Structures are given as C-alpha cells and as structure tokens.
Structure 1
Amino acid sequence: MAVFVALGAFLMTLAGGWTAQRVTDRRHLVLGLAGGLMLGVVGLDLLPEALDAAGDEVYGVPAALLLFVAGFLLAHLVERLLAARQAAHGAEERDGRIPEVGLTAAAAMVGHSAMDGIAIGAAFQVGGGMGTAVALAVIAHDFADGFNTYTITSLYGNARRRALTMLAADAVAPVAGAASTLLFTIPERLLGCYLGLFGGALLYLAAAEILPEAHHRHPARPTLLCTVAGVLFIWLVVGVGE
C-alpha cells in the first residue's frame, strides 16, 4: 500500500519540474516562488518535524536546532570550497554560478524525497489513518520538491539534460524510500536529526542564493508576491496534512 501511494509523490514531483521548465520567460517569478516554497518547507514542515522527532537537548539547545545551524553552515562551506576549487583550476563559472553546487543541492533534494517515502512507509506501519495523512502531506509538497529540484539545478548553470536527470531521480526517490520500509524501520530520532540538518542547508540556498537572484534586475513587488504565495501554499499543505 505504501509503495502504491508513493506513486502519487512520483507524479507530483514530475508535475512540479514540468511547471518549472515551462515558465523560463518569467525566471525571476519562478525563483521567487521557489524561494517561498523552500522557506515554507523549512520553517513550517521540516523544522517542526525535526524538533518533535529529534528529542534531546545538547547544552540547553534542541539537537535538531544545532543540526539546523550545522546544515546552514555546511551548505555555505561546500559552496565556498567549490568556488575556491574552481578558481584554483582556472575553471569558468556560468553566469557567476558553480554547476556543482546546483548538483549537490539537487542531490540533497533527492535524499530528502527518499526520506519522504520512508516516512510514508513508516506511517503505514503505524496504521492506515496515519499513513494516509502523511501521504497526503508528502504528495502535496512533492510538487514543490520537483519544482525546486529542477530550478536549483538549472539556476547554477547545469544543462537541461542534467536538470531533467535530477528531476527523474527526485521523482523515483519517494517510491524507493517507501519500498525500503518493507525491509527496515528508521529510528525516529535519527530521522529528526536528518530533517534538522537538511532544513538548514535548504534555508541557506533559499536565503543566500535563490531569493537574491530572483530580485536581481527585476521589479521586487511581483517577485515578492510569488515568494509569499509559495510560503502560503506550504502552510496550506501542512494544514491539510494535519
């Protein structure tokens, strides 16, 4: 049952990626929406789940928040290291962007989608009602995952073929994750720690890369409205899922 339901996430991910590539003439609006979706996913979905699942505090700070900060710093460090490597080897950036950063970020999105599938499978192990609620939330926000995976990969100068490859991997990931729960169950605390780390990395990409690029050389108001719409959409998804 969990694998069958995860096929819905597969289709929604592809729909999100298709939407992202069809609106290239409004790139700033796409990026503004993507930034809002990413901010909403982090603040309204990933971080609350991480705080609930990770549990323990470390020197008075929830472990999930520590890993959230670590994820933010890790994303920044990876980007700077890749930039330094490119400069050292005399490689050219594409429009000031480093393609490897986009691929790394997209790979993280694929990993997150696999965890979404695992979450669906684990919820169905608890009960049908729980599984259905989690599946609805995952399927709805996987549209945003597909949208963001294609957008991030393309933003950093990767060819369309690479962006489509990462989109396909992101679509298959929840199905594979759900299937894996037939073999094992992931500990709740480990899942919470992962969500905290991934949330920090995703927030870095949204705040330091996606949103600044969205507002570059374009009127701020329409782009800002798209960003707000992205956050509100995720809020709606989370509310329906609850």
Structure 2
Amino acid sequence: MLENFIASLAEWILRVSNGEIMWVAFYAGLFVAVITSLGALVAIFARSIPEKGVEFSLSFAAGVMVVASFTSLVLPAIESTDSFSPAGIGVALGVLLIYAIDRLLPHEHLVKGYEGPRSMKERLRKVWLLVIAVIIHNLPEGLAVGTSLVYNLRVGLVTTIAIGIQDFPEGTVVSLPLATLQKKRLQPIAMGVLSGFAEMAMVLVGAYFFTLFSWLLPYGLGLAGGAMLYVTVKEMIPEIYRREESETLVTLGFFAGFYVMLFLDSMLG
C-alpha cells in the first residue's frame, strides 16, 4: 500500500513538475521546511519540553539518519559505479567538510556548550550560536534529500519523507529551549522556521549542483552520507547518551527511527 502511494506520489510530482528535477527538489525542500516549521510552532502552546522528550526526539532522528546514510546515499553511490572508490572518497569529504565547519564556525550546543574559535564566543549572542549549531546539523539532511532525488526520484522521496518525519521533533527541539531561555515565543519560532528553510536551501543547492555535474553524483551521495554520519556520531549520539538514567529510552528512540527509515526504504524493494 505504501509502495503504491510512493509510486503514485512520484508520478504526480513528475507530472506537476513537468519532469524538471529542480521543481521536484523545490517541493521536497518545501516539505521538509514546512514540517520543521510546524514542529517549531509547538513553542506557542508549550512552556517547556521534558528532557526525556528531547532525548527521545534526538535519538529517533539519529536512527533515521544512520539508516538513510547507508540505504539512500552510500550504497546507491557504490551500486551506481560498481566501485567503492567514489563512495569512499565522498564519505571522507563529507566528514572533513562538517568537521571543518564544526571547528571554524562558532556555535553552541545546549548540552556540550560552545564550539568554534574562542575569539568569536563573545561576539555572538547565545541564541545565534544555538541557531548556527542547528543549521550545521540540518545542512547534511538537505544535501541528502537533494542528491538522492537526482539519483532516483523514488529513493529521494523515501529520504524526503523520512527526513520530514524526524524534522518535526527537531523543529520543536530548536524552538522550545530557545523560548525557555529568552522567555519569548516569536523569535524562537522564527529561528526554528529559519533552520527549516536553511535545509530547503541545501536541498536546492545539492539538486542543482549534481544535475549540472552528474558525473560527480556518486561522490555527492557519499559526501552527504558521510556528513550525516559525522553529525550523528559526533554530535547527536554523545548528547543523547549524556545521562545514564535515560539510556533505555534513547536506545528505544534510536531503534524506532532506525525501523521507520528501514521500513520506508523496504518499500522500494
């Protein structure tokens, strides 16, 4: 049933887009941006988010990202060339790219604290440091959607749906802590919406670049996969396992996301 839905959705999107991949990417990017924004709007109604809710949401997103990194990005990169080299090089480039951004761009995590050049710490307000951190996390997700759509529309749609599902709690995780810190609602919601549209921009950039340079697509798929894996392993997993008493909850959240993405991906078989 879901397989038929995805096939019908792919046909409908191609029809309304006249087969133009950039219009397909626009609709996919808009979808993830809107879902993220809806998650951010939760800050209107709630005063705070339980810490366990944050941990479960992040662990769910981590599970989705781990599976998507392989099934929608790394493995298709290998299959498209019957070679490990382009995928392997792409993964390494993705890791190095996010590592460099992580080190050079000032940002602040709610748990780990400040990361980036020390000279920049006092120049930026904490709210902007937090928003930059979220945007850094969202860029690989947008790139994953854009590159997977260029590779294969159905694979890209599955990736879009999965990323969208985990973007709702991510939008909430952005806006609610900021609302708690600032004792305001409008600006934190705007920041959550901004993070979603930053992800949409990356969808369009990835789709446009790899449409122009299609011979680089296997490297791009690997790059997006490596970038998502780096964010998941280096940033998300350490944060969600920081409290030993929540280990069972976050493990369940991780595997919930893992199975959701795996189930969606199985619809392609």
Pairs within 5 Å for 1:45-124: 45-54=72-81, 62-82=85-105, 86-91=117-122, 94=126, 99-119=131-151, 123=152
Distance 1:225 1:162, change over 3 A: same
Tell me if the contact between 1:102 and 1:154 (Cα under 8 Å) persists in the aligned partners: no
CA distance in 1, matches of 2:77, 2:189: 33
Tell me if the contact between 2:39 and 2:168 (Cα under 8 Å) persists in the aligned partners: yes
Q: Unpaired segments of 5 or more residues in structure 2?
A: 1-12, 18-23, 107-114, 179-186
CA distance in 1, matches of 2:220, 2:86: 10
Does the alignment pair 1:146 with 2:167? yes
Distance 1:17 1:198, change over 3 A: same
- TM-score, structure 1 as length reference: 0.71
**Alignment equivalent of 1:44, drawn from 71, 76, 85:** 71
Does the alignment pair 1:211 with 2:237? yes
**Alignment equivalent of 2:55, drawn from 28, 37, 41:** 28
**Taking every aligned residue pair, what percent have the same amino acid on both sides?**
19
Partner of 2:254 in structure 1? 227
**AA in 2 matched with 1:223:** V
Aligned-pair CA distance for 1:201: 1.4
Partner of 2:38 in structure 1? 18
Describe the SS at the equivalent of 1:219. helix
Aligned-pair CA distance for 1:46: 1.2
CA distance in 2, matches of 1:171, 1:226: 25
Aligned-pair CA distance for 1:30: 0.6
CA distance in 2, matches of 1:151, 1:75: 23
RMSD (Å) for aligned C-alpha atoms: 3.9
**AA in 1 matched with 2:79:** D
CA distance in 1, matches of 2:118, 2:177: 16
Aligned-pair CA distance for 1:42: 0.8
**AA in 1 matched with 2:194:** T
Partner of 1:238 in structure 2? 265
Q: Deviations over 1:98-147 (max 9, x none)?
A: 6434323323433433334444xxx5xxxxxxx5x446524432424634
Partner of 2:197 in structure 1? 168
Distance 1:177 1:70, change over 3 A: closer
Aligned-pair CA distance for 1:223: 0.8
Tell me if the contact between 2:39 and 2:170 (Cα under 8 Å) persists in the aligned partners: no
Partner of 2:4 in structure 1? none
CA distance in 2, matches of 1:73, 1:155: 31
Partner of 2:6 in structure 1? none
**AA in 2 matched with 1:196:** G
- TM-score, structure 2 as length reference: 0.65
CA distance in 2, matches of 1:189, 1:55: 14
Distance 1:103 1:215, change over 3 A: same
Q: How many residues align?
A: 223
**AA in 2 matched with 1:192:** P
Aligned-pair CA distance for 1:48: 0.6
Q: Deviations over 1:149-190 (max 9, x none)?
A: 637866997944222123135457768988x69xx9445431
